[in-house]
Amino acid sequence: MSEKINRADSEWRERLTEEQFRVARKHGTELAFSGRLDKHWEKGVYCCICCYNRLFSSDTKFDSGSGWPSFFAPIDAANIGETVDTSFFMRRTEVHCVRCDAHLGHVFPDGPEPTGLRYCINSASLDFIEDE
């Protein structure tokens, strides 16, 4: 991970679309099955939309049927931070980019082996870099 990135909301608004800002900077959630990367199966790396921190490999992506891109492991656990989310009368584990604090989604303990985890991530929080 590179140096921590801190920007004012006004700077993030200039860099991101309205939807990306709402999800990544304001902890929003895109509608299930609406994200451009849910059924995306190209080989490559999924990066943070805000700072391009490398987060997930296509090798760990799977179809969870949830309507959001799902991964069973990050590229490096040090790139993903976790916080307790008690919104909507639930207790969940929110995940965020440790480099810029962008909201990514949530992680659940119902994923496939080898980790048993399901990182349920908003497409709006990700960009994709295809393998060459």
pLDDT tens-digit map of 57-85: 999 999 999 999 999 999 999 999 999 87
For residue 19, what pLDDT is reported?
97
120 is catalytic: yes
- Check pLDDT > 90 for residue 32: yes
Identify whether the C-beta of residue 115 lies closer than 8 Å to the C-beta of residue 108.
no
- Would you say how long the chain is, in residues? 132
For residue 91, what pLDDT is reported?
79
- Check pLDDT > 80 for residue 1: no
Of the residues 48, 51, 97, 120, only one is catalytic, namely 120
Rounded Cα–Cα distance for residues 41 and 48 (Å)? 18
For residue 88, what pLDDT is reported?
64
> Strands of 126-130's sheet, edge to edge?
54-57, 44-48, 126-130
For residue 132, what pLDDT is reported?
78
Rounded Cα–Cα distance for residues 2 and 17 (Å)? 24
Mean pLDDT for 1-21 is 92
CA atoms within 13 A on the CB side of 22: 8
Percent above pLDDT 70 for the chain: 95
Mean pLDDT for 108-131 is 96
| Domains of the chain and any CATH numbers | 9-130 (2.170.150.20)
Mean pLDDT for 92-107 is 95
